[in-house]
């Protein structure tokens, strides 16, 4: 590889890194929601995969069935994180594909 090719490749990598950083910043500001139990438990997550809010309907809070509520919260959190991961993949997937096109080892 010539020095010119290497410089061009390094510029492309730097540009992609900047685009990835921008996309990650934008993702952190986006919010996805999951609703389980017919809307009894709602969980919101940022596009960066951080849970930002959990809402529990008072009707689902049964002191005789804490396991049922725990199951709903767990299902809601898992679905919200999956939704955040899907959003991240849709936003960042294209940029990662560009990196593979450079033929760099390990990508």
Domains of the chain by start residue, with CATH: 3-100 (3.30.1310.10)
Helical (H) or strand (E) element with 37: none
The tens digit of pLDDT for each residue in 66-105 reads: 999 999 999 999 999 999 999 888 877 765 555 555 555 5
- First-last CA distance in the chain: 19
The tens digit of pLDDT for each residue in 34-77 reads: 999 999 999 999 988 899 999 999 999 999 999 999 999 999 99
**Is the pTM of the predicted complex or chain greater than 0.95?**
no
Instruction: Tell me what pLDDT residue 99 has.
Output: 53
Q: How many CA atoms lie within 13 A of 99 on its CB side?
A: 16
Q: Is pLDDT of 107 > 50?
A: no
Coil/strand/helix, residue 99: helix
Instruction: Tell me what pLDDT residue 35 has.
Output: 97
Instruction: Tell me what pLDDT residue 68 has.
Output: 95
Instruction: Tell me what pLDDT residue 25 has.
Output: 82
Instruction: Tell me what pLDDT residue 51 has.
Output: 96
């Amino acid at each position: 590889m010539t020095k010119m090719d290497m410089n061009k490749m390094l510029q492309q990598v730097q540009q992609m890194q900047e685009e990835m950083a921008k996309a990650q910043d934008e993702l952190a500001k986006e919010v996805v929601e999951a609703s389980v139990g017919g809307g009894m438990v709602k969980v919101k997550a940022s596009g960066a995969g951080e849970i930002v809010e959990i809402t529990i309907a008072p009707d689902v809070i049964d002191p005789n069935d804490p396991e049922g509520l725990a199951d709903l919260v767990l299902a809601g959190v898992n679905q919200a994180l999956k939704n955040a991961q899907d959003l991240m993949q849709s936003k960042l997937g294209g940029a990662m594909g560009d990196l593979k096109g450079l033929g760099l080892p390990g990508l």
